[in-house]
Chains A and B, each alone.
Chain A
Amino acid sequence: MIEARSLTKQYGDKTAVNDVSFTVQSGKVTGFLGPNGAGKSTTMRMIVGLDRPTSGSVTVDGKPYADYPAPLHEVGVLLDAKAVHTGRSAYNHLRAMAATHGIPTSRVNEVIEMTGLTGVAKKRVGGFSLGMGQRLGIAAALLGDPRVLILDEPVNGLDPEGVLWVRQLVRYLAAEGRTVLLSSHLMSEMAQTADHLIVLGRGRVIADAPIADILAGDQTAAVQVKSPRIDELAAALVALGRPNVALAPVSPGTASVTGLTAEIIGETAAANGIALHELTPTSASLEDVFMRLTQDEVEYRTGVGEQDSAPAGAHAAAPSTSASASAASASDAQEATR
């Protein structure tokens, strides 16, 4: 179990992780989702003590990671695939890592076989492809047979077979009762692998819920609307005063509307004399949910028109889409961009 409490990390003026609290439960695969720069990697580095939190704390099974007498047996971590000396062979890299904890060479050979590296184990890591580097990183993470696994973008660069293998591996490890925290930007991958999702955006937790809840909470269909007068339509839709209405720009002149049915949108457009070029109900995928959850005001404004005050108003009622999306974070995010 990993517990983060009010974890904050600042690099100079920039706040990479902002007051993040979450619990990663054992026996489950927890997905860490968020766009680039959301603070996923920074949070993971803080868990294993590579980065020092500016404030807040994080514990692994109740203790700070550094307090364990055998850290490699507690947490296996893949932070980036090439955190390896390029001049050393994969075998020697793993041997050096294993030696710190007195892990026998037999285990080194085991993880090499397990990750499919047998043929290249004696080759220098500098010549490895990204996929091979990932396999070596996973091998290193498994070395201590840890109770907690933290994998940052493990399927990045892997071939389809490797992706499938990672998926089976993490599910198997979680089924054994271990804690698995996995980050990815591949939403479809998360849908097939994770039990629970923690969505990060701009250094904050946007959502923290079982994956089924996040998907179910969003099944209130989105409607894609295309109109040459999209700004006016947006204003009109917001003026209806319905709860939980949100507009997200798809492309110039096109927006995705949630919280309203296609019928209402169509009638509103007709009542205002606004021509519609498209009105398509769409069912939400995890990807849509993710995009919506991580949407921020700046992106919205550049999409639909800056001078219009209506979109900002529409956004105020925005992303309370999922069951447990934090309303506080959403409003705070708006504060930050104002």
Chain B
Amino acid sequence: MSTTSAPSRSHAGAPAPAQRGKLTFGGLLVSEWIKLTTVRSTVWSLAILVLISVGLGLLIATFLEAGDAGAAGGPGGPGSPADAAAAAATDWALTSATAGMSMASLVAAILGALNITSEYSTGMIRSSLAAVPKRLPVLFAKAVVLALVTFGVGLITLFGTYLIVTPILEGKGFEAHLDDPQTVIALIGGAAYLAIVAVFSLGLGTIIRSGAGAIAAAVGVLLILPPLFLLVPLEWLHDLAPYLLSSAGGQMHTIPTGSTDVEGWVAVIVSVAWAVVSLVVAAVLLKRRDA
């Protein structure tokens, strides 16, 4: 801290007119991109997300044996000719590639929550909101950047894992179908689900304003609600279970087998709705509360 070099030498300096800028949403996107990429927690989170996906994919591909396929494949259980056919048709490379999705979605949730709660815990939020007194553009820029980054990393990770496990599985006689549009849609759906979870969690973080609280809430919604809905002996709760974020999101990265509870496009809408509702509540509170 010895670098206080002659501060009186240069004053504020008359501004060159060219330096005059304007507050724009594009500028906010750049700002949020800089913010996201210049803290270590982002690098760590994304590295963990990639490691989990690739690691679990490799684990499954390595230890999967031809005999296991039938047992794990069809929902109707092994034995019937229809199931054998279904098992053969199952894209095990896709199963491997998306094996880490549940944990990866938790990492996305942490990334999304920290994106705003770290601003609250450090006081940065006051700098952010003083520069953008209308406030909401900050939240929306965060959501856009977070969604794009999570989607991008998710997409590369999922397709990457798929390509890594394909030769291993093909060596054991399994088939991989990357030329199947349904497989491609499932991989893209997985990446989109990660983006949705990150934005949902960004909303939670804005609402709760504490990292620990927001992450706990996200874990609750993603991991604790689904078994809870099925354990409680209430029929209507069981009916609602498929509309939970992790249930609907889970469908986005699997190929429909015909026995799914809601249709594919419904699952997408339901997942997006979770993120939108969270973000809208966050926006109302952000606008209303003192920073």
Contact = CB atoms under 8 A, between A and B. Distances in A.
Given A73-B21, A87-B118, A99-B34, A172 B3 contact: no
Interface of B: 1-8, 10-15, 19-24, 27-28, 30-32, 34-35, 38-41, 118-119, 122-127, 129-134, 288, 290-291
Contacts of A115: 7
Contacts of B291: 45, 50-51
B290 to A, nearest CB: 4
Contacts of A70: 20-23
B31 A100 contact: yes
A169 interface: yes
A80 B12 contact: no
B4 A48 contact: no
Q: Which 5 A-B pairs have the closest CB atoms?
A: A119-B3, A102-B21, A66-B133, A145-B15, A99-B31
A162 interface: yes
B123 A159 contact: no
Contact of A145 (B2, B19, B35): B19
Nearest to A86: B122
A88 interface: yes
A100 B7 contact: no
Nearest to A42: B290
Interface of A: 45, 48-52, 65-66, 68-73, 77, 79-80, 82-89, 92-93, 95-97, 99-104, 106-107, 110, 113-120, 128-129, 131-132, 135, 140, 142, 144-145, 159, 161-162, 164-165, 168-169, 172-173, 176
Nearest to A73: B20
Nearest to A170: B12
B interface SS class = loop
Q: Chain A CB within 10 Å — which of B2, B38, B129 has the most?
A: B38
20 contacts: A45-B290, A49-B129, A51-B291, A70-B20, A70-B22, A73-B20, A83-B122, A84-B122, A85-B39, A97-B31, A99-B27, A100-B131, A101-B23, A101-B27, A102-B27, A104-B19, A132-B1, A142-B12, A164-B8, A169-B8
B40 A117 contact: no
A158 to B, nearest CB: 9
Contacts of A77: 130
A83 B40 CA distance: 18
Contacts of B119: 85
Contacts of B122: 82-87
A132 to B, nearest CB: 6
A274 B288 CA distance: 61
B126 A172 contact: no
A82 B7 contact: no
Contact of B123 (A83, A87, A97, A131): A83
A99 B134 CA distance: 17
B27 A50 contact: no
A73 B22 CA distance: 8
Nearest to B38: A92
B173 to A, nearest CB: 49
A114 B10 contact: yes
A85 B11 contact: no
A176 B13 CA distance: 10
A101 B41 CA distance: 26
Contacts of B21: 70, 72-73, 101-103, 144
A69 B10 CA distance: 29
Contacts of B35: 85, 88, 96
B130 A48 contact: yes
Contact of A82 (B123, B129, B133): B123
Contacts of B13: 110, 114, 145
Contacts of B20: 70, 73
